[in-house]
A and B are shown apart, each in its own frame.
Chain A
Amino acid sequence: MRAITLALGLMLAVPVFAQSNMPPSYWAYRQLPDAKQEAKAQALMQELRCLVCQGQSIADSDAELAGDMRDLVRRRIAAGEKPEHIRAWLIERYGDWVSYRPSTAPIAWPLWAAPLILLIFGAVIVAGRLKRKRS
């Protein structure tokens, strides 16, 4: 068994991308024992952007830093911190870019307003159409 593990370990040692010297962080691939906390952590992880990937959340990435961020999220949630607080902490350090949920800052107002405007605009056109059709 040991020999196989060693042989496998040697195989795994093929440098395929820039790997650090440490294994993944403890909570990178472990779930919190409390299901409710894990669900909160999971929901937050789906909305945080992986800093070193091409457009993935940390919940969907095998990158080391993504694992470290998952570890950070889970540890803090387990310690009782609110998800919003953790998100804000990360935004403080990396900017709005790190959160997939656009903020409520002025930069994002057009984004939230646009669907409403589209809907109203469209509804007006349609209503005008339907009225005209009747007469």
Chain B
Amino acid sequence: MSRAFRLLPIILLVWVLLAFAWRLIQPPDPTVRSQLVNREVPQFVLQPLVDGVPGLTSADLATGEPRLLNLFGSWCVPCIGEAPVLEDLQRRGVKIDGIAIRDTASGVSAFLRRHGNPYARVGSDPNSNVQLALGSAGVPETFVVDGKGVIRRQYVGPISSSDVSKIIVELKELR
């Protein structure tokens, strides 16, 4: 066997070891992110779920004003923690629309009564159809949508109070 052949296994070995070492230093990020950032919101029509709160369609997200699209569920515990932050954003003038994932009318009404209603509209997505169409894999998630209905950013997981100013600035820039 020539020299090259004998060194090849070692070169491959070192390459594999380096890849392992890289992966240990940069642990895998298990967050599943939507690939629709900078793409238009897919078309959908969602029925209302709660009395007095209209349902949501994709057209409502392209009215010229940048908005937040929040995916939540009354059964989702981190959504409870996120509720005050959304309230805060709404009080500061941010328009928020919600999609209730796999939820019932009673569940959502109870949730909105207990934790406040920051949403202009809430659409019902009982089978996660729109969630899948948006490239979302869990709740809570929030999409920043510009006036033309194009998704500009995705927040996976609950928004924290430290994100509030960032979001407000972002929405202002999108006008």
* A residues whose Cβ falls under 8 Å from a Cβ of B: 18-22, 25-26, 51-52, 64-65, 68-69, 71-72, 90, 92-95, 97, 125
Contact = CB atoms under 8 A, between A and B. Distances in A.
19 contacts: A18-B76, A20-B76, A20-B103, A22-B102, A22-B127, A51-B137, A65-B128, A65-B138, A68-B129, A68-B132, A92-B35, A92-B36, A93-B36, A93-B132, A93-B134, A94-B32, A94-B35, A97-B32, A125-B5
A90 B135 CA distance: 8
Contacts, number: 66
Interface residues of B toward A: which range?
A: 20 to 34
Contacts of B101: 20
A75 to B, nearest CB: 9
A95 B74 CA distance: 29
Interface centre among A18, A19, A125, by most chain B C-beta atoms within 10 angstroms, is A18
| CB-CB nearest 5 A-B residue pairs | A20-B102, A93-B135, A68-B128, A51-B137, A22-B102
Contacts of B129: 68, 72
Interface centre among B5, B74, B127, by most chain A C-beta atoms within 10 angstroms, is B127
B13 interface: no
Interface in B44-67: none
Nearest to A97: B32
Interface in B97-140: 101-104, 107, 126-129, 131-135, 137-138
Contact of B104 (A21, A69, A94): A21
A130 to B, nearest CB: 15
B73 interface: yes
B35 A21 contact: no
Interface centre among B104, B128, B135, by most chain A C-beta atoms within 10 angstroms, is B128
A52 B132 CA distance: 12
Given A52-B137, A71-B127, A95 B103 contact: no
A contact patch SS: helix
B47 to A, nearest CB: 14
A65 B137 contact: yes
Contact of B132 (A18, A21, A69, A95): A69
A94 B137 contact: yes
A125 B103 CA distance: 63
B90 interface: no
A21 B135 contact: no
Given A69-B132, A71-B127, A93 B34 contact: yes
B34 A94 contact: yes
Contact of B75 (A21, A68, A72, A95): A21
A22 B134 contact: no
A21 B74 contact: yes
